[in-house]
Amino acid sequence: MSMTRKQFGRLALASVLATTVAGTALAQTAYPHKPITMVVPAAAGGTTDLAARMAAQALGPMLGQTLVVENKGGGNGNIAAAQVKRAEADGYTLLMQYSGFHVISPHLGKSSWERDDFVPVANVLSAPQIVVVRGDLPVNTLQELVAYAKAHPMKLNYASSGNGSLQHVTGVQLEQAAGIQMVHVPYKGTGPALQDLLGGQVDLTFGTAPPFMPHIQAGKLKVLAVTSQARLPSLASVPTTAEAGLPGVNATSWFALFAPAKTPEAIVRKLEGDVRAMLNDPAFQKKALDQGATADFMDSKALGAMVKRDWDLWGKVVKAANIKAD
């Protein structure tokens, strides 16, 4: 039976629609089918970079794709966050975020993004700050550091990964709790700050333990205290700030994966599940502990709740201390 032109047109349209639907379904089920970029809001050498590289190495085989770590330091994390915010919400551009940047930087007045610009995927690592000084500074305990600072007001300078960063705020906490005055020197990430600490250009800093551990073990740096409720297993002989007489100095960082807002839920669930499996691996847990961090899984919902809680908390701290962006 012959087919009219109208019937042929309808059949062709139906075929195109069917092909499109099938192609869309295939694309959705095939994630990921190309390399994934994980943007890091800091220079290489810090804990955020370490978290990203550990995750990229472990998740790559699980996802069957290469995860490319791209360091975009500067701007208190705003450069990296803005890049991921603008990216396609397709799961191929992720942000390995540092808590100090995510819940403090937006309150400093120069942020180009908001909390709702990202969807939480999962938390990866948690780590308290440590108080670490250059190896030749004539102090060996937190109490001695406080005494030295009181005897030499505004002579000690401390490095941070940026104005308004968690390291900066921890320094302010120490100054307020101990009644001392120091000079704050902001850097574009922990890596550059660490290099100047090793070189003697700055006297001390605050940060998560991983990037400092090799230098502590080599005797080039001295760690005086841990800013958490409990001691770190990897630094078991180091007292907490509370044990050292300064319970008001308490700061823990987290390092988590985020995706651009409107990323399909199926992709978020896929990544969340793979991160859970990665963090359940004893080898990954041991590697984190050896570096002074903890493999600390939180799913998307729990991470979102923590972000909101910390966002409100640190927003009040920034406002009370009148901390501004660089």
Query: What's the pLDDT at 7?
Result: 54
Query: What's the pLDDT at 25?
Result: 44
- Residue 3's pLDDT band (boundaries 50, 70, 90)? low
- Residue 26's pLDDT band (boundaries 50, 70, 90)? very low
Q: What is the mean pLDDT of residues 204-228?
A: 94
**CATH 3.40.190.150, the chain: domain bounds:** 35-127+253-321
- Residue 165's pLDDT band (boundaries 50, 70, 90)? confident
* Cβ-contact 114, 308 below 8 angstroms: no
CATH number for region 128-235: 3.40.190.10
Q: Name the phi and psi angles at 164, rounded to 5.
A: 90, 0
pLDDT of 48 > 70? The answer is: yes
**CATH 3.40.190.10, the chain: domain bounds:** 128-235
* Cβ-contact 118, 259 below 8 angstroms: yes
What is the C-alpha separation between 61 and 309, in angstroms, rounded? 34
- What is the dihedral angle through the alpha carbons of 319, 72, 48, 269, rounded to the nearest 10 degrees? 100
pLDDT tens, position by position, 54-71: 999 999 999 999 999 999
Query: What's the pLDDT at 19?
Result: 45
Q: What angle do CA 280, 282, 286 make, to 5 degrees?
A: 120
Q: What is the mean pLDDT of residues 79-101?
A: 96
- Going by C-beta distance under 8 Å and a sequence separation of 6 or more, which residues neighbour residue 237? none
pLDDT of 6 > 60? The answer is: no
Which among 46, 43, 63, 207 is positioned nearest to 121, based on CA atoms? 63
Query: What's the pLDDT at 37?
Result: 98
pLDDT tens, position by position, 257-308: 999 999 999 999 999 999 999 999 999 999 998 888 899 999 999 999 999 9
Q: Which residue would you say has higher pLDDT here, 164 or 70?
A: 70
- Residue 243's pLDDT band (boundaries 50, 70, 90)? very high
218 burial level (CB within 10 Å; 0-12, 13-18, 19+): exposed
| Architecture of the domain delimited by 35-127+253-321 | 3-Layer(aba) Sandwich (3.40)
pLDDT tens, position by position, 102-135: 998 888 877 889 999 999 999 999 988 999 999 9
